Amino acid sequence: MTEVTVDPTQAATTWLADFGAALAKGDIDAAVALFETDSYWRDLVSFTWNIRTQEGAEAIRAMLKARLADVAPSNFAIEGEATEADGIVDAWFTFETRLARGRGHLRLRDGKAWTLLTTMTQLKGHEEKTGSERIKGAEHGQQPGRKTWLEKRKEEAESLGYTTQPEVVIIGGGQGGIVLGARLRRLGVPTIIVERNAKPGDSWRKRYKSLCLHDPVWYDHLPYLPFPDDWPVFSPKDKIGDWLEMYTKVMELNYWGGTTAKKARFDEAKKEWEVTVERDGKEVVLRPKQLVFALGVSGYPNVPKIEGAENFKGDQHHSSAHPGPEAYKGKKCVVLGSNNSAHDICAALWENGADVTMIQRSSTHIAPSDSLMELALGGLYSEQAVKNGIDHHKADLIFASVPYKIMAGFQIPVYDEMKKRDADLYSRLEKAGFMLDFGDDGSGLFMKYLRRGSGYYIDVGASELVANGSIKLKSGVNIARVNEHSVTLTDGTELPCDLLVYATGYGSMNGWLADLVSPEVADKVGKCWGLGSDTTKDPGPWEGELRNMWKPTQVENLWIHGGNLHQSRHYSQFLALQLKARMEGIATPVYERAATYHRR
């Protein structure tokens, strides 16, 4: 008997035609019947004016019932050729709504949708001026008194925030604030970025001397201006600092460096924010409609309160303030913590002749860099992926097409293979007393990152120093007391100490909200980051998306932006479109706004 094979492109084309026809007729039952019972529809702004995943056919039904008439989707069309592997058809498509254009991804099993991704790419009538639509720049002809580009740029910089007000103020001028500012600039949204450091990139330049990105270059491109093709695989912090400074100037951002945000309040009557900042020694009050906090993925440095710390005669500081290893040659150094920063700092101290001990309080996930690049990232973010036609734009969408609910299942095989590949290193680390883990469910590094599970290290060499004893290790203990020239551990051990580094992470990012706006506003926003997975450090209930990130919060006109370079690049697009729509007075009814039950 001849086996009948289904052409994947035809299968996807048929599904999209049936789906589009059902939506056009308003036949929600017919549309839902095209999905598996346990299916997932992840929407980035296009249908929900939100970042939401509808889990299961009934959740999809509820969303369509609430949003279909307003969205008015149409013109679903297959993009390129679909593929099939292990019985799953993968296909890209484009579509339109009443207000926007979009791009999506579909996975079919046995003719029904398992996962569906829909994303907004453009607002109709408010497209970026790119390609053939770019501005001319020159104004040919005779125009007495014409102003040059430089004169116009200076005029804008001098007036914005003083005689004219921005639509958006972004508090935080690291990579998150900068890339969002670039997106908004391209959309014509007047924006000011407020940053306490003097120059763009200083937040990177001020970190410890040996810091390099642990993510590869293909994962870290900024929007519009990718890194040159000779950029190092792992970017040194000062190169990143220089690139961000250049990027800010080239993208013509209104970047208020050396400016401190002091207080913010929302004026209910005027429906605008009042943001008080100090710039050049003077107080300035900005009145934007929208306020974005772009202060990374965490809050203030977490410095533990330990008995006797005030009496210590050596140097002590948080890892974020660590100047580098040069002053500690021949010194006794103790680093509390076992995450990326702890390993990097320990390794640099050892290389510079220090006697260094790492205090590991709880188990830590170790992901060797080469294995991570090959097994976890290589298919999407690598030179080979680019050769295969997957640039970082497409890779971002592929990554986004996997709903968080099932992402762990995609990750577990990767880390199972890593355990086999790096078994010798893991065995030697355990013999040295190092406590290893791969996450609560074995899903490894990225899921720990999403779930706020601290305690992971992308190994770029320090693990070997721990395994062979070059970096001394005390595990399963904490510091009970700090003495004048030593620390006493909870097992009674006393370690001589000239330098004590707290590589102890950071608090919740909405700690910034409590200080700059109010504790009540911080509580109303609730937890930021984490999925509600009921794993270590990520209590439930399940949210299905990163809490309060890049989407409407419970506080009017208040937004949270952050993440690593990949997330800042990818999700800034969708946050910028939401902000642009509001500036243009477009109705943006939010489906399933972030819940109120999450507290700090």
For the stretch 328-383, pLDDT in tens is 999 999 999 999 999 999 999 999 999 999 999 999 999 999 999 999 999 999 99
The 8 Å CB, 24+ separation contacts for 81-84 are 81/8, 81/9, 82/8, 82/9, 82/11, 82/12, 82/13, 83/8, 84/6, 84/8
Tokens of 297: 């993925």
**Which amino acid is located at 72 in the chain?**
A
Q: How far apart are CA 161 and CA 409, in angstroms?
A: 48
For the stretch 154-189, pLDDT in tens is 999 999 999 999 999 999 999 999 999 999 999 999
* 520 Cβ contact partners less than 8 Å away, ≥ 6 residues apart: none
Q: How far apart are CA 379 and CA 377, in angstroms?
A: 6
Q: How far apart are CA 417 and CA 370, in angstroms?
A: 13
Q: How far apart are CA 130 and CA 252, in angstroms?
A: 15
For the stretch 415-454, pLDDT in tens is 999 999 999 999 999 999 999 999 999 999 999 999 876 6
Phi then psi for 505, rounded to 5 degrees? 75, -160
Domains assigned to the chain? 8-123 (3.10.450.50), 152-299+509-524+550-583 (3.50.50.60), 309-502 (3.50.50.60)
Q: How far apart are CA 249 and CA 208, in angstroms?
A: 25
Q: What is the DSSP letter of 293?
A: E
pLDDT band per the 50, 70, 90 thresholds, residue 600? very low
pTM for the complete prediction? 0.95
Tokens of 289: 């409609």
Tokens of 386: 């680019």
For the stretch 421-431, pLDDT in tens is 999 999 999 99
**Residue 97 in contact with residue 46, Cβ under 8 Å?**
yes
